């Protein structure tokens, strides 16, 4: 009798499993289009989220590194202080005066305008 119960139980379980698989296959075939579309959307959202997370991480790391190096950067200290700007302006003015003193003008006596001399004009034919 134990054998018949085991056989009946296994046949009942196999029948229930077959019924369940048939229901799943029939409902799955009607839902394949909608399930595939939702999975595609989830995949795209995951990729965009991953890309956004990576981008924000790189930006935050870069901003933090620049903020730490800005306090010690001599170029930024050079721009921030007004003393350097004044020294540059004084140097520029000294160079301008030096260049002005070095200038000399040569006068070409032949090229100077002379109202008493008549310049011949070419006659058109």
Give 68-81 pLDDT, tens digit per residue. Answer: 666 666 666 665 56
**Ranges of each domain in the chain:** 37-71, 74-105
Distance in angstroms (rounded) separating the CA atoms of residues 56 and 50: 10
Give 13-34 pLDDT, tens digit per residue. Answer: 788 888 888 887 776 555 555 5
pTM: 0.30
Q: What is residue 64's DSSP assignment?
A: H
Residue 118 corresponds to which tokens in the numbers above?
A: 């008549």
């Amino acid at each position: 009798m134990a054998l018949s119960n085991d056989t009946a139980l296994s046949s009942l379980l196999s029948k229930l499993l077959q019924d369940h698989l048939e229901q799943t296959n029939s409902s799955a075939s009607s839902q394949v289009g909608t399930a595939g579309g939702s999975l595609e959307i989830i995949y795209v959202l995951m990729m965009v989220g991953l890309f956004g997370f990576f981008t924000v991480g790189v930006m935050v790391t870069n901003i933090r590194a620049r903020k730490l190096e800005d306090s010690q950067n001599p170029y930024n200290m050079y721009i921030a202080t007004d003393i350097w700007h004044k020294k540059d302006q004084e140097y520029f003015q000294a160079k301008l005066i030096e260049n002005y003193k070095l200038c000399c003008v040569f006068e070409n006596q032949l090229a100077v305008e002379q109202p008493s001399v008549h310049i011949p004009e070419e006659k058109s034919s």
